[in-house]
Structure 1
Amino acid sequence: MDAFNKGFASFTSSLQGLGSQVTPITRRTTRLIQETIGSADEKTKLPEEYLELERRVDALKTVHQKLLSVTSQYENESYDYPPNLKESFTDLSKTISEKVAGLSQVSSAAEAGAVLTAAPSNKEHKTLHHALSRAAAAGAEALGDSADPLASALEKYAVAEAKIGDARLSQDSLIVSRFNAAFATTLNTSLRFAAKARANVHKARLNLDAAKAAAKTAKPERQVAARVEVEQAEDEFVAATEEAVSVMKNILDTPEPLRNLSDLIAAQLAYHKASVEILNQLLPEIDELQSVQDNKYREAREAST
């Protein structure tokens, strides 16, 4: 490694001595390699305000990446579907398939009964709620007696779960279109724009430090030109830094992420609110059927004694 460092130092020294014959790209590359192996002289310090903005922008990028890594699951309809459930159209009778297809559109037991004879649906949603709906519908079909309290309860439950499943799909669609798309756009545009501005600062800083290093070893006839190059590099560095600061401040100050988060919460609230309303309406009906069944059971027991 010592031999390599000595050889590289000799190489870079010869490059610096070439003065104006060395291109800015070559100087910048040489400077970067020197800094990488630790043989460069003092680096130009970036303003603390700039460094703090970089930290905050990096944190904002992390926020977007981590949330999207989770909310991207809403783009997969079957994210809550039972993994071991074996279910297909061939597993259910035409009556069951028809019932499932129309359950989300009904609002009464009478309408649910009419749905049972419809044609099979072309779409079988893969959500936990739709799976529960189909299972309940299959149970009611197996019992085969709509007057049976359990069969009636299963039909009502099937209708409710289909509606909740549709509400979940609506939530997912809103999250994908209003949250995921917006956060992905920020990652792919605004934050990348900031990254480009920061890269320009890095390049300008390398150019400046390379110009300073070249000026230290410039021949007497090159001293004036070398100072001019340093001044130009300083101006470019300052301009790039100011531009990056402006870009990063704009990204950090925008209310868009909070607006996106509000849309996410609103979609979730609508789904859970719909679920609560549907189940609140269903439970008293099931409790009533249970009460009737309890009374019949008790009467039958008393009659047999």
Structure 2
Amino acid sequence: MVSQAQIDEAARLIREGELVAFPTETVYGLGANALNPEAVAKIFIEKERPSFDPLIVHICKIEDLALLCEKMDERVLALAAKFWPGPLTIVLPRSNLVPDIVSSGLPTVAIRMPNNEIALKLIAAAQCPIAAPSANKFGKLSPTKAQHVRKQFPLLPCILDGGATSVGIESTVIAIEDDGFKILRPGVITRQEIETVLPYSTSPVKNDPFFASPGLLNSHYSPNKPLYIEGDYQPMADTTNAGYISFTGMGGEGYKRVEYLSHTGNLSEAATNLFRTLHSLEESDVTFIVAEPIPLQGIGVAIMDRLKKAAYRFTKNESSPDKEP
């Protein structure tokens, strides 16, 4: 378990403009002082992340919203009361204290309060909000264990090892509109749950959603080995050297290795195990990976969002002009 002394040392590094990897309930984050643009720039350099992709700022108390936001309303406080700490990120008008680099020059900032004791203690000890995308190289698999972070950042001086994350996929991101909310990135908090607080908006998103939230590129969360979703395009190949990801506890006959997101079709189990399973197969001796599709209901929408983005660069048309290298 992470000690208070380790948290205090990590907080000192944050205050001095250095990077720290730390656990949240979703995935591990690569954090820097959100109010220090030079420190935040190190995140983009270390992750090899494009500057147009904004970051999420993590806070440990509601009062920090006033520091980061130009204006709020009672709807934001109602959402925070219902879902924070927790895996919900809210995009709000930013204050002048938020550096341009954090929000990629947008007039908004994405904020959440993580539901993880180590993360909350770190933010409190650092005495500043912490900007933190997932602690992985840009476009690669998200980390749900400290070992996943170390694999991609072997020279990072400080990784707080809080064990496996409990949720396993990134937070739901929403934008607040005049008539309600819109989901920019699906997560384990579903539209139906948020609608218990606010109605779903029918108006256009004020800011281009491609830029308003992280995690919206077509290709993201991708393993180093080819990944295909069963039923979609996959190459004619010998599956005796391939890996299979099962959601229902069935399938995978003839595959070299079978990993289970769940043995019973449990969506919460599948979300928790998704990136751990992808890391395991990436590190194995299989030549490619095939995943059983997830039902598009509840948090299954968010799981399939991650799977489709992870498989995108292996399945899209080679001649498409926006193919990523």
Compute the TM-score of the two structures, normalised by the length of structure 1: 0.20
Larger Rg: 1
- Judging by fraction of residues, say which structure has more strand: 2
- Judging by fraction of residues, say which structure has more helix: 1
Of the two structures, which has the highest relative contact order with CA contacts closer than 8 Å and spacing of 6 or more? 1
